[in-house]
Amino acid sequence: MKLQVAFIFFVLCSWSPFSNAQAASATANLLRRQYREGEKLAYHMKALNEAWHYEIDADGVVKKDAAGRFFEEYQWTHMTSSGQPVSLVPAAGDYRQKLTLDPEQIPSAPDLTKVDPKLVGPITDMMTFYADLWLANKLGTLKKTGDHFYFRNPMPPSSWADGIRVLVGEDAIDFDMTLKSMDAAAGTAMVEVRHVPPKSRRCR
């Protein structure tokens, strides 16, 4: 039986014409983040997972590491669950999630061992959005409205079976990406990324 499930993410991208050179670069690859050290970034995330709905704010700043590579660092605040405020543990105020859209860097998974369990959903959702946009940026195939690319994931499936309740459980996804719209004047683009079952695999 083939698994007929697809996860769909829409990523809204924007850029600013910091200079003529950067504007030209952004036009050539509108999905590429034009980083400026010290730039402030903010997201208000809304998510619906079956019956669970949450909202949360992520406030970030652009920094450089010791090697001069840019990254974004986020603090999570003001979480609500099903419309009700959520109290996070005090240590949550010290946690910072690091992300990057630099195509020359390889995204890494966050350390979830020391975070408030209530933040695991937002942290992994944010990581997924960034990983999708990073991949689209790295491939560089989406350049005009309607462009589409199917990326066959070369990584082996990762198992989430616990050996007791789930004997065989694997994550195996490909990426189906489409540039849905772009507005050069406004500096925005919308990308649809579908997480789909690999065409060559079947559920066991």
Question: Global pTM?
Answer: 0.76
User: Could you tell me which residues are beta bridge partners of residue 60?
Assistant: 41, 74
**Residue ranges, the chain, pLDDT below 50:** 1-11, 15-28, 202-204
H-run or E-run covering 97 = strand 97-99
CA distance 195 to 91: 33
pLDDT for position 62: 96
Domain boundaries, the chain: 1-31+142-204, 33-139
pLDDT for position 21: 44
pLDDT for position 9: 46
pLDDT for position 71: 96
CA distance 76 to 115: 11
pLDDT for position 67: 93
